[in-house]
Each structure stands twice: as C-alpha cells, then as structure tokens.
Structure 1
Amino acid sequence: MTKKIGWNFDNSYTQLPDVFYTLQKPKPVRAPKMAVFNTSLAERLGLDPDALQSENGVEQLAGNQIPDGASPLSQAYAGHQFGHFTMLGDGRAVLLGEQITPQGDRMDIQFKGPGRTPYSRGGDGRAALGPMLREYIISEAMHALGIPTTRSLAVVETGEAVYRETELPGAILTRVASSHLRVGTFQYAAGRDEIENLRALADYAIHRHYPEMEAQENKYVSFLQAVIDRQASLIAKWQLVGFIHGVMNTDNMTISGETIDYGPCAFMDTYDPATVFSSIDRQGRYAYGNQPYIGVWNLARFAESLLPLLHENMDEALEMANEALSSFAKLFQKNWHEGMKAKLGLLNEEPQDESLIGDLLTMMEKYHADYTNTFRALTLYKPEDTVLHEKDEFKQWYERWQERLGRQNEPRESSQQLMQQSNPAVIPRNHRVEEALDAAVEKGDYSVMEKLLKVLSDPYAHSTEQKEYCTVPDQTGKPYRTFCGT
C-alpha cells in the first residue's frame, strides 16, 4: 500500500486568462534519486516526509508521476534583463500546483529543471545538480536569517547529464513560494495592451497577497504602494547581512516581497559597496551598493505596467505612480537605519547615530574589514577580533560607541541581546558553499553540505560549533565569481 503524501492542491492560477500560462507536464527522467530533502518544510506544508522520500514520492518530485489534484503549467512573463526588455517565461520551470497548508496558506510548488517548455527559447529546460544544491543552501540560509524568501523542499538527481560548457549531472529542485508573480508578469500583461487581462492579473495578485485592499477606493494605487513597501523592507534586509542577489532583473522581483532566483548570488566577505560576484555583470549594475537603486528602477517598471489601472487620465495616473515611487528611498532608508542601529545595539534615537554608523562603514571599507565578522566582534565585545582594532580612528569610534550605549536607560545586556539577534555569527561563506558543492557533485558526499546546513539553520546562536564557519577564505588574489547556472 502506498503511503499518502498529503498533497492538497487548489490551483487558482489556472483561473486567469490562458495568455498567462501554458499547461505543461514535466518531462520524465531516467533514474531519479533523492539528493537532499527538507523535512521541516515538508511538515509545514502538510506533507508526510517519509512518504515523499519513498520511491513513489521521489518519482513525483522528479516529475515522473503527477500527483492527484496538480495542474502543471509554465508561466508566461517578460522582464528587463540588465536593462534590456525581452519576452521570457518559465524556460526551465513547471508550476506543479498550489498546496494549501494546514495553516491555510497557499504555497506554489514549482519544479526547476523539469524539461523544455514553450518558453525555453532554445534551452534544454534542464538544470545541473550544482546550481540546484546552491539554491537549496542559500534559500534555506536566507530563511534562517529571517529574510523573506522562496524555499527549497528537495533536490532530486535525475540520473541524466546536462550539457553546459561541460557535461554535468542533472537535477530537479522543488521550490516553494507564496507565489511566482513577478514585476515581469505585469510587464508581460501590459505589453500585450489588453487592459482586461492586466486587470484580471492585478485583481488576482491583490486577492492572493493583499486581500485587505480589495475594498479600498483605488485598490491598484494601494497595491503599488504595498509592493514598494515590501521591496524596500526586503532590500534593506539584504544590505544588512551583506547579501548580493547578482541578477536583479524585473522578472526576479516578486509581488509578494520574497527573494527569488538564487543564480549568481553570494554573500560579501570584505566590506565594499562595489562588490560584484556574477560573471555576467561586467558593468557592476547589480553590485551590492547599487541594489537599492535597482530596486526602485524595477518598481518604476512595475508602476508603468499598472498605469492604465491607476487612473483613466494618464497624467493623473503618472502623478499617482510617481508619488508612490518617491516613497521608496525614505522607506528603504528607514528600514536600513533601524537595522543598522540594531546591529550596534542602539535602542533609542540620537542625532549623531547616522554619523556613528557611517564612520564605521567608512573604516570597514578603508581597511578591508570583513562585514559579518566585524559586527560579530562588536556583538561579543571583542574588538580585538577585527582588523580595525589597532587603528587609532577605530579606537576613537569605539569610545564614542561605548559612550552612546552608556546614555541609554536600558541595561547593557539589552543592547547585547539586540545585537546578537541582529548580527549573524555565520553566513553561507562562498568558500564553504563551494566546498559543500564540490563534495556533493564530484564525490557524491552530502555530509559536508548537511553539516553546513545545520550550522546555517541557527545563524544567531553564536555557538562554539559555529566558530570554524566564521573564518574568512584565504586570499588567492583571484576574485570570486558566480554563475547563473543556465
């Protein structure tokens, strides 16, 4: 008897006009084998972990069997990629369906790498094992850091090769998201110049993510503002932990405010706003310091798509859009400033806080200090653990900071607790991620990845077990480069 997995599909996306998707089944694979599985996420989704890891479950997570109630499809969307507009779509992804969890949440279950779709644009629709494991690691680390994100349920090896610059083992990732609605989805709708389809998409997004706005006088303006609010909060959180997305195209910005698409992403070691890891970002468009500016640029494209819905008079619509967009900088700065204050244990507001934060970052950049470890050292009150320690200007800054903490009514323990909750001891260091991927892909050894995932699952613990994962990589002289995996 086959054990029941617990799928509970209700596929609302298929109720949209069919221009937004193509019904598409995954292409079967030769020899599926479970590589890594997320037990806690499966349970949260209302799924039976043992059943999903059985032979029948693996067949389903490989796309060889379609679960009852699923309605597999590939989504259509467009996007600005490095500033250039193009028609896109799920070229190597199939949305299996929408799982209704025991808590009543609606979650997309999507396969990455299940074969060609009508949007593949000449690609094979498959994915290599390494990039899928990378997305699993980084997305789960982001979740543990408290950053809104898509998550990874499983990676299944396909037993088939994919061909990029060389032959690589293939895999399928099961991605879980609040939805896969993107800025690019709205650009696609607006580009077709069919206002009723655009309205249907906007109404669907509002009902799914912002139902409290449905009764408002101009729900589309409120919708635009809500997406701006969430993205301002999200990008501030990226900046606060040194995360660099690497490919902030408009098709990679969600309406839900979740981080999506972990292709050439990485975490910054040495603090430098100009840091770029992606091999294809030769101009530094998506550098760490540029992410807030690209965020509002993407949101401007979203606002353009919504103009026909904001007001029947285009001048009025433009004024509404610009007013909403003008709020981004203030919202981002507020979120970032509050986050930086927390990283320094500041429980109230003083006029000089901005310079206290700015002076520290200036020193960190000047002396090539490690971003995460500098704040970790401050959290533990161990300034000697940072390269700044012997610098006179840092000694003066440290004295200013201690005086500032001393002017608070709350005890020092409260400040340190706030810092511990705001400064991760560990992040997915690039060299550690590569070490885990090499062991898994080249040797079939998943123990390195499992240990890394365990350490990353509680980044604010500041435990002794995490200490070895705090070390920075050896300086090889060569810049670290990431690749999109397609």
Structure 2
Amino acid sequence: MVSDTSLEALTFDNVWSRFPDDFFTRVKPTRWGGTRLLDISPRGAARLGLEPDDIDHGRLTALMGGERLLDGMDPLAQKYTGHQFGTYNPALGDGRGLLLGEAMTPQGPVDLHLKGAGQTPYSRFGDGRAVLRSSIREYLAGEAMAGLKIPTTLALAVAVNGEKVMRERVEPGATLLRLAESHVRFGHFEWLYQQQRVEDLERLARHVIDRHRPDLAQESAPLEALFQDVVTRTAELIARWQAYGFVHAVMNTDNMSILGLTLDYGPYAFMDRFESNLTPNHTDTAGRYAFDQQPGVALWNLTVLGQSLTPLIDVERLREMLDSYEPTLQAAYAILMRGRLGLETEQQSDGELIDDWLSLLESSRADFHRSFRALSDRDVVGGLSLAEEIASPELESWLERYRRRLNHESRGDTERLAAMRRVNPLYILRTHLAQQVIEAAEQGDARPLQTFRELLSSPFLQRPGMEIWSEAPSSDAPPVCLSCSS
C-alpha cells in the first residue's frame, strides 16, 4: 500500500508542456552512475505535502540520478532570454536543469526542477552538469533563506554521483532537486517582447495570474495588477536581502523571479564584516551587483520587465507602478531594521539611528550578524559582549542615543530582547562554514551538511554544543571571492 505522503503519490499537471513548442525542448535527464543521496530537507518535503520518513530513498535516488522518472512527469528545458550584466543575451534557457514536472500539492502547484540533469539545446558551451560544491551551496541557501523568512526556492534533496566534473578543478558531480512555485523569470517576458509575440506575451502573463495569483483576476485591470504585484514583491524581497546582509551577486534579469522569489544561487554570500560595497563575485570587477547596488539593480530589472509589457499595459501606468518601488522598499526595510534593533514604534529619527549603526559596524570592521545578536543579548548574563564585537570609541555615543530612543518604547527590556532574538539570527550561512560542509561531503561525510541544514532552518534558536556553527571567520581570513560556478 503506497502511503499518501510518498513520492509516488504526487500528481502532476504540467501546464508548461502545453505552451507552444518553442517555449521549451523536451529533454530526458542524463543518467549519472553512482548517485547517492546526501540529505533530504524536511522543509522541502513539507512543501510537497510529503513526510520525510515516507520518502523511499531508493526511488528518490533513481530520480536524481536520471534513471527513472515519476509517473506523470514530462521533463523539459525552458527557453528564455535576459540581460546579463546589462547586456541583452538572446541565447538563454535551461542549460543544465530540467523542469521534470509541475506537482499539484495542498499548498498549490510546485515545480520539480532537476539541476545538473545534463546538456540541453540551451547549454551553449556548458556541459550540463553540476558540481557538489555549487549544489550544496544552493541546497543550504534555500534552507537559510527560508529560515530567515526570505522568499526563496527550496530543494527537496541533494545527491552526489560518480561523475568527475571540470571547473576550476576536478570536482564530484551532483544533482539538486529544486522546488519552486514557478520558474517563470523576467527573461521569459523579455524573450517574447523581443520576438514581438504579443499574443504569447499576454498568454504568459495570464498564465501567471491564473496559476499563481488568481486573486488578481478579479481586479479591473488584471495585467496591471500583476505588474504591480511583481514590483511590490520584488521591493519587499530586496528589503529583506538588505536587512540580512545577503548579496546575490548575479542579478541578471534571467535570474529574477516573476513571483518575487530568490532564484539561482551562484556566487552569493551573507556578509561577515559589514561592507556596504561587498562584491563576492570575482567576475564582477565593476561592482555592478555589489550589496549597496542591489536596490537600484532590482529597479533597473523591473524597468526592463516593464518595457517588455508595453504591448499590453499603458506606458504611463507602468511608470506609476515603477514609482511605487522605492517607497515600498524603504518602508519594508525600515520595519525590518527597527525590528532588528528592538524598536516597536516608529520615530522620525529612526532612519538616522539605523544608518549610523551600520556606519559604526563598517568603520569598526565589526561582524554584521554577531553585532546584532550581541545587541540582542547585551543585558543577558553570559551573552555576547557588544564591546568585544565592536571595537570603536564611537560605540558608547551610539548606545547613548539608542538608550534614549528606547525610552519611547512601551516594552520592557526582557520582552524587547526576546523579540530581538527572534529576528537576529545566531546561525548564518557563512561562506567558510559552507566550505567546511562541502569538504566533508567530498570526503563522504554528510553529517555536517545535515547538522548545518537543521541549524539554518531555525537560525534564531540557540542550540547547546553548536557554538562552532555560529563562529565568524578569523580576522585575517581573505575576502569572500567566488566564481559563477559556485
């Protein structure tokens, strides 16, 4: 008897396969020998309405190794285009991943997308493979972002295989089973706009509404409502990135989700020391996608999307909706940062207090996350010492202003500090910790991966004996600098 929470119980309604033929190419996953599961995500399983203990490891391994699909799957590679570092590239699409199928779950449709599935017509010069390093980084990124309540794709599982893949060095091959409500990107709309396919452009927009935003269908102008929804969700997403020190590092329009999800994890990084211009991608020499550039880049990308919708929506209306981006972002960011500082009410001087706190962290080269956590613990015996985290003569001056600001709050210290610890994480997906997990997995030990995944899924809760997973890198550690194959 098959459990109703098993993989085999999933049912599929593959809408994308019913689009015009040039929207995709049907491709069978490449079969990879020696595939071995490393971890299954309870959060990912829950997204599919599954119980982790009911998932047959052998069946999942066969799926991730390209040996056997689930009944109802119809694997395909999507076609899209996009602006890469500001330049339009018409030759894009799924180059190493396949949309295996669109599962219908109690929470709505979920794409199952196998990364590292082999070459497709859109691979260009790529080999269609994924390496263990990048697969683990994306797997953990989904867990970390979800734990921080940042909209994101997730993964059900990550697996290593017997392939040897050449990147900067020879690395183990891997696959990742990614989950997302949808993989529709800004670049899908750009492709149809550039091809002057107005009917298909409208068909795609209405698909997004009908499948993913059905409430918008009741609006007087549903297509306008969809664009406003994308603007709002993108602004709120970027606000969360900025509030938690996340740098995506490759904000090309083909990496932007129409649903406001964090999509396509490459050379991303969470800050260690606060650096307003942090650029962890070594190919981004101009700093186009640096931390402090992300709000502006997202607006630029939304403007490109808006241009793609000009055959469907009046230009003036598009401009009005784009004008809502910055105030939406600023309002969302202010709420998040006030929460991180323990401020429940709003005061006119809060923006300056927040900015000066960040300037203090940057000038003192303080660790971004540990400083917030120390501020949350500063009245608790045995907590982190704020003075140890921020070695600056300006600290006491800022703290005096902060204390005066707290006089306008009605909550007591105990309640406020508890609230702060619920939004200031202890466990962060730091690059040096991820590298330790990767190195262990490459040696055949998946236990650190499983431990770190569990901590990142609940990053605010302190776990006894897990201090190593909250450590910052050493002060003499080199700056984070990653490649696009990361």
- Same fold per TM (> 0.5)? yes
Q: Describe the shift of the 1:301–1:189 C-alpha distance in structure 2 as closer, same or farther (beyond 3 A).
A: same
Which residue does 1:475 correspond to in 2?
475
Counterpart CA distance in 2 for 1:260 and 1:36 is: 21
Which residue does 1:366 correspond to in 2?
363
User: Any conservation in 2 of the 1:373–1:386 contact (CA below 8 Å)?
Assistant: no
Would you say 1:29 and 2:26 are equivalent positions? no
User: Any conservation in 2 of the 1:425–1:466 contact (CA below 8 Å)?
Assistant: no
Which residue does 1:342 correspond to in 2?
339
Counterpart CA distance in 1 for 2:171 and 2:373 is: 38
Which residue does 2:427 correspond to in 1?
426
Q: Which runs of 5+ in 2 are unaligned?
A: none
Would you say 1:112 and 2:115 are equivalent positions? yes
Would you say 1:275 and 2:278 are equivalent positions? yes
Q: CA deviation at 1:299?
A: 0.5
Which segment is superposed worse, 475-484 or 222-231?
475-484
Counterpart of 1:346 in 2: which secondary structure?
Answer: coil
Q: CA deviation at 1:258?
A: 0.8
Q: CA deviation at 1:452?
A: 1.7
Counterpart CA distance in 2 for 1:162 and 1:175 is: 20
Counterpart CA distance in 2 for 1:414 and 1:233 is: 27
Counterpart CA distance in 2 for 1:207 and 1:68 is: 25
Give percent identity, aligned residues only: 38
Q: Which runs of 5+ in 1 are unaligned?
A: 311-316
Counterpart CA distance in 1 for 2:208 and 2:147 is: 26
Counterpart CA distance in 2 for 1:137 and 1:444 is: 17
TM-score (structure 1 length as normaliser): 0.94
User: Any conservation in 1 of the 2:367–2:389 contact (CA below 8 Å)?
Assistant: no
Which residue does 2:461 correspond to in 1?
461
Counterpart CA distance in 2 for 1:390 and 1:306 is: 51
TM-score (structure 2 length as normaliser): 0.94
After TM superposition, the structure 1 = structure 2 runs for residues 39-188 of structure 1, keeping only pairs within 5 Å, are: 39-47=42-50, 49-50=52-53, 52-87=55-90, 88-101=92-105, 103-188=106-191
Q: Describe the shift of the 1:462–1:188 C-alpha distance in structure 2 as closer, same or farther (beyond 3 A).
A: same
Q: CA deviation at 1:35?
A: 2.0
Q: CA deviation at 1:162?
A: 1.7
Which residue does 1:236 correspond to in 2?
239
Q: CA deviation at 1:335?
A: 0.6
User: Any conservation in 1 of the 2:44–2:179 contact (CA below 8 Å)?
Assistant: no
User: Any conservation in 2 of the 1:150–1:176 contact (CA below 8 Å)?
Assistant: yes
RMSD (CA atoms): 1.9
Q: CA deviation at 1:251?
A: 0.6
Q: Describe the shift of the 1:472–1:426 C-alpha distance in structure 2 as closer, same or farther (beyond 3 A).
A: same
User: Any conservation in 1 of the 2:277–2:290 contact (CA below 8 Å)?
Assistant: yes
Which residue does 2:372 correspond to in 1?
375
Counterpart CA distance in 1 for 2:2 and 2:167 is: 38
Q: CA deviation at 1:106?
A: 0.6
Counterpart CA distance in 2 for 1:219 and 1:368 is: 48
Equivalent pairs counted in the alignment come to: 478
Q: CA deviation at 1:61?
A: 2.3
Q: Describe the shift of the 1:50–1:342 C-alpha distance in structure 2 as closer, same or farther (beyond 3 A).
A: closer
Question: Any idea what the Cα deviations from partners look like across 1:378-415, whole Å, max 9, x if unmatched?
Answer: 10126833456564422121122112112222323332
Would you say 1:412 and 2:413 are equivalent positions? yes
User: Any conservation in 2 of the 1:220–1:306 contact (CA below 8 Å)?
Assistant: no
Q: CA deviation at 1:10?
A: 1.2
Which segment is superposed worse, 359-368 or 472-481?
472-481
Counterpart CA distance in 2 for 1:14 and 1:251 is: 20
Counterpart CA distance in 2 for 1:118 and 1:322 is: 36
User: Any conservation in 1 of the 2:269–2:480 contact (CA below 8 Å)?
Assistant: no
Question: Any idea what the Cα deviations from partners look like across 1:305-350, whole Å, max 9, x if unmatched?
Answer: 111000xxxxxx2211111111111111111111111111111111
